């Protein structure tokens, strides 16, 4: 009986303690805070210019996008300055995008910002990082979409990853590639066109935390085939007889690494691609023509991917993660030796194998 009463008293004590702890917590009422959906960083006369974006919900049910800017030498002080200018506390719990102006990402580097985002427990790992072809402020100041600019930009990235030519990317993947030996990170590039139009205009390749190269829009699919295990996108090819467009519905990449006297001599990248024909300008798509298309597309993809890899080797940058693959099969892997002397000179061959699984719609 005594033991039972002791357990009851212990339970009541814990319950009362939890009640008091809950009462001491700092509540955040939704109407009394500004929930940031986007942050931008630009370079302004060698200082950091920050732009915070948050939605303001109007009585008629519409969303007005509000931005606050501040400039300082230190990134954390930029946030403090923006807090001072805001009528309500700025919180990051629903942050959708962080945009870096091209000049900022090229000259200053973005690691300090990425590191602080990773350390913030309220920021999700699937947050999208973006490089702006121009300033971050000009994109965040746009009134886009019915649910707010931050939500619109996040949906734009997500759509292009799932069904278009943009390889998968987010805060977690960028940070992982940044810290990983044998792979360099990359981010999508956004560009403002016209009055209220934003587009994905390419992919920014980073060396450490600075942009070193930009892949144009028309080369994005080939880059995606090299870096993503599962790719979707479209590609067109033309010869003297006809023009055709196919859509990639699945792809898989395999590396074969050949060594000579313990040193990597050749690397073969096999890319298996399943595709469907979207457009064909010839008269009739027979089985013979299908086989010819498969070869034409394979040759075209091989040429484009090879050109990209040669550029990466010249720049000593490795977004495809070839060094990571070599490390996985090399005992005592020396990353400095690989990056400086081996990677730029190793022979890399791309071997695409295109299989067209559907042609019925064209026929």
Per-residue confidence (pLDDT) for residue 285, from 0 to 100: 81
Q: Which residue ranges in the chain fall short of pLDDT 50?
A: 1-4, 19-28, 362-363
Residue 251, C-beta contacts closer than 8 angstroms, at least 6 positions apart: 225, 228, 229, 230, 231, 271, 272, 273, 274
Taking alpha carbons only, the member of 229, 254, 267, 270 closest to residue 343 is: 267
Counting beta carbons within 10 angstroms of the beta carbon of residue 80, is it exposed (0 to 12), middle (13 to 18) or buried (19 or more)?
Answer: exposed
Per-residue confidence (pLDDT) for residue 83, from 0 to 100: 93
Going 334 to 338 to 342 to 347, the CA torsion angle's sign is positive
240-292 confidence digits (pLDDT tens): 667 888 888 889 999 999 998 888 999 999 999 999 988 888 777 888 888 98
Per-residue confidence (pLDDT) for residue 64, from 0 to 100: 87
Query: Encoding tokens for residue 95?
Result: 């942050």
pTM of the model: 0.87
Per-residue confidence (pLDDT) for residue 284, from 0 to 100: 79
Distances (CA, A) of 169 to 70, 127, 133, 229, 276: 28, 9, 18, 13, 25
Residue 96, C-beta contacts closer than 8 angstroms, at least 6 positions apart: 37, 38, 127, 128, 150, 151, 153, 154
Q: Which residues pair with 351 in a beta bridge?
A: 270
């Amino acid at each position: 009986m005594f033991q039972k009463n002791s357990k009851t008293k212990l339970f009541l004590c814990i319950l009362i303690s939890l009640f008091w702890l809950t009462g001491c917590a700092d509540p955040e009422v939704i109407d009394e805070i500004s929930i940031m959906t986007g942050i931008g960083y630009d370079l302004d006369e060698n200082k950091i210019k920050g732009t915070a974006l948050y939605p303001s919900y109007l009585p008629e049910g519409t969303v007005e996008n509000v931005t606050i800017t501040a400039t300082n030498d230190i990134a954390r002080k930029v946030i403090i300055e923006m807090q001072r200018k805001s009528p309500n506390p700025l919180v990051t719990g629903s942050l959708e995008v962080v945009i870096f102006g091209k000049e900022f990402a090229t000259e200053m580097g973005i690691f300090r910002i990425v590191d602080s985002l990773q350390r913030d427990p309220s920021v999700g790992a699937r947050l999208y990082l973006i490089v702006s072809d121009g300033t971050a402020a000009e994109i965040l100041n746009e009134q886009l979409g019915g649910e707010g600019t931050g939500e619109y930009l996040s949906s734009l990235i997500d759509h292009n990853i799932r069904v278009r030519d943009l390889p998968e990317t987010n805060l977690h993947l960028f940070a992982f590639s940044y810290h990983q030996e044998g792979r360099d990170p990359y981010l999508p590039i956004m560009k403002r066109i016209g009055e209220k139009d934003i587009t994905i205009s390419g992919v920014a390749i980073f060396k450490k935390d600075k942009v070193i190269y930009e892949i144009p829009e028309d080369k994005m699919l080939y880059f995606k085939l090299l870096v993503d295990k599962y790719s979707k996108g479209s590609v067109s090819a033309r010869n003297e007889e006809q023009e055709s467009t196919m859509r990639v519905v699945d792809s898989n990449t395999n590396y074969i690494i050949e060594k000579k006297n313990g040193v990597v001599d050749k690397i073969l990248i096999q890319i298996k691609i399943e595709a469907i024909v979207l457009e064909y300008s010839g008269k009739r798509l027979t089985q013979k023509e299908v086989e010819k298309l498969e070869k034409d597309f394979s040759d075209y993809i091989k040429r484009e991917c090879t050109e990209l890899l040669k550029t990466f080797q010249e720049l000593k940058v490795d977004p495809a993660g070839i060094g990571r693959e070599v490390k996985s099969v090399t005992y005592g892997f020396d990353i400095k030796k690989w990056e400086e002397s081996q990677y730029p000179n190793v022979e890399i061959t791309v071997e695409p194998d295109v299989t067209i699984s559907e042609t019925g719609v064209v026929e």
